[in-house]
Structure formats: C-alpha cells, structure tokens
Structure 1
C-alpha cells in the first residue's frame, strides 16, 4: 500500500514509519521539521533497510500538498503533523488553530482533489477533559480543557463531517493516552526541542544529566500518592495501532474514534521510581504548583481497539523506561550529536 505520512519525522511518526517499512508499505513522509530532525529519517532507513520518499513542506501549504499527492498518489494518509504542547497552546492559541485545524482542512482538501479516501488521524485523550467517570470510553463527553485539546476536538469533528459527506471515505481517529518509550535499538526516540513538556523525556534528561531536577506539578491530587496519574503506552505499541487502523480502514466506511492506551495507570512518582530502577540513576525532583489544564487521573477503556482493530498493548512500564533509557543514554543530546 502507498501511505503518505504527515509529520513522519516526529517521535510517533518515525516509529510508525519504521513499522510501515518493515511491513513493506511504500511511504512518502511530508514534514516541515519544525519539531523533528531529518536525522531520525536517516536512522529509520538504516533500521528498516528500506527507502522511502520525503517531501519537505507545511500542511498549511496547499500547493506543496498538491505536489506531494500528485506525485505519490497515496492510497491512505496517516496524519501526525501538528503542534502538541498544552502549555504553549494557551500562550499561542492562534498558532495552534492555524497549524492544527487549518492545516488539517488543507490536507483533507488535498485528499479530495486526489481521490484519497482513507485517513488515520493522530488525536489525543485531551479531548475528554476532566473525567466524568473512569476509565474514559469513546462515549465519554468531549470537553477539552486547553487550546491544544480543542484543536484535536475540532479536527475530529471536521473529519467526521468529511467522512459523512464523501461516500466511501474511511477515517480512524486514534485518541492517544501518554506515549513513551523508544525503539529497542536505541537509535530513534523522543527528542523534544527545549525543556520537555512530557514527563518521561523530562525524567530521562534529568537521569542523563542534561537537567538538574524534575518538576512535579502538583502533589495534592486525589490519587495513590497525590501526583498525577496517567495511562502510559509504549510508542511501539502505538505504532502497531496505526498499522491496524490502516488495515481496518480498507473495509470500513465513515469515522471511528478509538482509544489507544493500556487500561493501566501509573503516577508521576511511580514513573520516577520505575525509571530509576531501569537506569540505575537517581532522578531528583521538586514539587511545584499544579499546571492549568492538567487533570488528576486519565485512564483508557481499550476494549473498542481490541474489538475493531484486533489490537492490544503488549509492553509495560518497565519496557517503556528501559527503552527510553537505552535511547537517552546512547543519545544524550538527542539527534543533535551527530
């Protein structure tokens, strides 16, 4: 199958790209490298021992999208490209709406122009907002608490309307919980610009000595130890979910939203302890005030993914910490060291 992957050089995109190549799909990566590195793509080529095409461009650029679609003629699209920091989205909401919402509309229009009817969209559990009940299932009310989450919610609704209006269109919206970990090779992993926004890369950078201590935002939540509790999923499991979603889209019509998590949770302090055990390094931390927009607990109901996609998570927190440490210790400065 020919698959166009927007944001394919990013953290989740590069791991999914590797799985696609190992399954012998033809791939074109469309990326502007604003929060990713071409080095990730070079390493994926080495790991997969397979080549693929790359088109540098922004999804807001209709002309560049048209060139990519006209040249490659994809059967399906996996859409990762977008801005993704909760805190930054509150500071720069218009940037987030322009890139995530307007960019996604340009992508859908390009798909229509080139008769590409199959889409897998990278959404987020942030669309649920504060829990009315747990675990979150796909029928939970959608009440995102920050601009980033709202952009994901709006794009989900746009995709739903697009799929309803275009006969034979098929879309799978994957609502990620908390992706962590790295490829077992240690060659590709999460490499955020600046200070990490997500917990595990922050812990890893403290363990490797790039940062002095971890900031723990809030220790008075109603959880086992007072710190935020999340459903973490290994990026390799998440990548497999995208391949399962692409396969599902070949026989389905309309739009399906599906959680991608493990159905198990860990608190911030539990993740710190697990990482210390995996790395053999101390991870000092300081308790800081809660962050606006954070929820106390987040946990996925995962039965729909198993029922529709035939997919379940296989890797656990120990695997997540071990592979993250393999990546970070071998690449203390991320992709910038070579």
Structure 2
C-alpha cells in the first residue's frame, strides 16, 4: 500500500507535536517533513524527548520542504501567517492537499474575517474554497476539499452539541449561553509571563470576554443551522490543567420541546459516530474521561425551569479540538478509514 506523504509546518508547537504523536501510529501515513523556523536543524527528539525512539526527519525551515515529495500538508502555524504560506504552497503545487489548524480560513465571509481579525484576508480565493472542518457535520464536503480549515477547540465543543438542536428548531437561537473552560495548552507553547505556573495555578479566570474570536465560528455555524442570525453569549475560562475543554451551555426550549427531546435529538444525530458519545439523559460528562483521545462526550440535563435545559460537552483541546480532528479530516480527504490512527482510549487517571 502506498503511503500518504505528509509535512507538518510548525511541528515545534503543541498541535504540531500532537500531530506527530497521532500520525506515528497511522498505518497509511509517512511523515516526510517537519518544520520549525527557530529550531531548524534540530532533531524532533531534542524539542520533544518523548519522540526519541521514532525515526523522524530533522526540523527544517518551510522553504527547505521538497513539495514534490509531499501529498498533504498540515499547517500548525500562528494565526495571521498561514494565508500567504498556503497560497504559496498551492502556487507551487496546485494538487497538494492542506489541513490548516490556524484560524486563517475558518470564516467564509471576508467581512466577518476583517471584523474579527482586524485586517483584510490575504487569500480571498482560497478563503472561499476552504471547507470548515467539523468532521461529523461537513463530512461530504471535506472528502472533496483541497483546503480544510480545522475549527477551534472552543468552537468544536459548542458546535457539536448545539447545531443539531438548531436544525430541528428545538431551542431558541437567541437564548444560547456558553461558558467554556479550557486547559493551559490552548494558549500555545510560546513563553508568556501570564502563563507561568505561579500566575495561573490555584485559580480560574475568564478571558476574551464578549469578544473571543471563536465566537465568529459559532455565529457562522449557528446561523447556517438556524437559518437566521443568532448571537450566542460566549465566555471562555482558563483553568489550571494541561489538557481538556468543557462547555456548559444553557438553552431555552422552543415550541414545547423538553430536555428529553433535546437528548433524543442528539442521540439520533450522532448515532453510529465513532468519536461522539451522547451519555444517558441526566448524566454529566467529565473531561478526564476523554483526555488524550479523539472522543467527545455530550450530556443533557433538565434545568429547574420547564423552558430551559443545560447541555454539556467535553473533549481534549489538543486532540479532537485540534490535531485529532485534523487527522480525522485528513483521513476523509485521503479516503482512509475515518478512525485510522485515532482509536486510542482516554488516559485515566
């Protein structure tokens, strides 16, 4: 069987290393190039010693990647820099496939991108071509895509449980209130004073309140599902753990729906999905039960008011929230079994 030759641009960050971890177990993939400009020339094991037993290519600059040997590229680069990089990739090799883990191609509307990111998009033709990569919801389009825009971790955690409910008109579109708590790895690996252990341990704080950029992804997907403008309230929290993301979503029921009806709708929507589990009604998911895996757990609980319900969702922000979903999307693009390389169970305790 011919292997799919892949390159990982930005391999020295958390999402890049997570791609290496997952792809090292993939039976149909060969990692041919790893880039990290500031660490170019180093072995991957020098940057991440857990890979010392693997035979991996040395880290190089992006310019040194021999694209003629590459079938698919993962871009795990900082937001704002990926647009020109991907445009150059396609200019050199139009048939190459790209899964982008940055936010640069997630928004289909150029005006929305400019509003949320403060500058015009630099690759408008590619922006219109990109497919938003929530695997379970856009599977058919992803299979035919040349460029997949991997969604954000907060976005995935809220979109998966809420979109089916909006499609079935079971909840009021303007009633959605999301509090989404994420672990420290979501802030990336770059050194930041505010991310030091003594700065964040033994406490919780909100950030990006009223204006977090993942809100734009929620607007895009919620509007499409509801068939109208929606404006969810989204509040992210940073909590002192390495991995994980946990969304607590309060919704107002619509048209006489019940919390049990929401649970039945989600159970039907994700029946047979390999990575999404809807727990028994009233049962609450725990982030520790998905840690290190590509799995998602969703719970539905009735609120004390008859017109409200609480929907909860948890996943690993580095796996299903980033690199695991990227591999899942790669599997769809390449025509592989969707679960290939992603069947590891959660690490517990």
* TM-score tier after normalising by the smaller chain length: 0.3 to 0.5
| Higher-RCO chain (CA-CA 8 Å, sequence separation at least 6) | 1
> Scaled by the length of structure 1, what TM-score is found?
0.45
Which has the larger share of helix? 1
> Scaled by the length of structure 2, what TM-score is found?
0.44
